[in-house]
């Protein structure tokens, strides 16, 4: 019954599912450094995934992505702070693409990783998300052609993550942050309990329209509103 099963391919596809789970929250992170760290782990799993399904270019590009993310994560150190690093990684990936060339499909992965390397060098998480709208479709086409089912789901999820917003709120004194993801595809009603600190973050590149309702009008002469971060603020 099991003698005809390609176990290597099956394990490879299973790792693709694991990578999707690991990367689920990657592109919703506000901190570029946190985004890079989680992306590093996800790249490692995807590297094994691509290797086992026979996508050599994908495996090598993700392996280089791991090394690149280590450098970017430690760019506060002098040796990794040079502005030349993005161009160095772009050159390395172009050479690696030539060495691991399988067919024209390799071009898709190489172009995506070169663009991604340039974008991840930025210190603005929003700019990184914008780059996903270019790189994700390229990688998704590669995944479709190589039958990387986990990769297809992950890239599709990344595209959606790049164009949505998040509403977060928290009760003062409680560390639990409640989050709701919203998009223009579906109108959403979110009830924020009285006394909860809250924020709305637009993760897309278009306007996020919100309509607020309260049981009483705001009185500027007697304000009852004060600033309290929903999550602990991080120094970049």
What is the tens place of the pLDDT at every residue in 184-219?
Answer: 555 567 777 777 888 887 766 556 667 777 677 767
What is the tens place of the pLDDT at every residue in 77-113?
Answer: 888 888 888 888 889 999 999 998 988 999 999 999 8
What is the tens place of the pLDDT at every residue in 46-72?
Answer: 899 999 999 999 899 888 888 887 887
Residue 120 has pLDDT above 80, yes or no: no
pLDDT at 234: 46
pLDDT at 50: 93
Higher pLDDT, 107 or 165: 107
d(CA 102, CA 228): 54
pLDDT at 161: 61
pLDDT at 48: 93
Tell me the pTM.
0.62
Q: What are the helix (H) ranges across 53-185? A: 56-73, 85-99, 105-120, 125-146, 149-161
- Quick one: angle between helices 105-120 and 85-99, nearest 10? 170
Residue 152 has pLDDT above 80, yes or no: yes
Contact indicator for 148, 155 with CB cutoff of 8 Å: no
> Tokens 């306007």 — which residue?
207
Contact indicator for 176, 168 with CB cutoff of 8 Å: no
Which sequence spans correspond to the domains of the chain? 7-161, 167-236
- pLDDT above 70 covers what percent of the chain? 76
pLDDT at 102: 87
What is the tens place of the pLDDT at every residue in 4-46?
Answer: 677 888 899 999 988 888 777 665 565 656 666 777 788 888 8
Residue 159 has pLDDT above 50, yes or no: yes
Beta pairing partners, 170: 197
């Amino acid at each position: 019954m099991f003698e005809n099963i390609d176990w290597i391919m099956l394990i490879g596809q299973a790792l693709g599912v694991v990578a999707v789970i690991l990367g689920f929250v990657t592109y919703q992170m506000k901190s570029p450094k946190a985004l890079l760290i989680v992306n590093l782990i996800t790249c490692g799993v995807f590297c094994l995934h691509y290797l086992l399904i026979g996508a050599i270019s994908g495996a090598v590009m993700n392996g280089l992505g791991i090394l690149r993310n280590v450098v970017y994560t430690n760019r506060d150190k002098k040796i990794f702070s040079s502005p030349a690093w993005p161009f160095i990684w772009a050159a390395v990936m172009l050479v690696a693409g030539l060495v691991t060339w399988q067919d024209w499909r390799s071009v898709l992965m190489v172009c995506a990783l070169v663009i991604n390397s340039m974008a991840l060098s930025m210190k603005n998480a929003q700019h990184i998300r914008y780059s996903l709208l270019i790189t994700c479709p390229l990688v998704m086409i590669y995944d479709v052609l190589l039958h990387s089912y986990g990769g297809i789901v992950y890239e599709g999820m990344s595209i959606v993550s790049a164009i949505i917003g998040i509403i977060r709120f928290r009760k003062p004194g409680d560390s639990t942050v409640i989050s709701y993801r919203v998009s223009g595809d579906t109108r959403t009603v979110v009830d924020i309990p009285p006394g909860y600190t809250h924020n709305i973050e637009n993760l897309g590149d278009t306007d996020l329209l919100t309509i607020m309702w309260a049981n009483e009008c705001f009185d500027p002469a007697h304000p009852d509103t004060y600033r309290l971060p929903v999550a602990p603020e991080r120094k970049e």
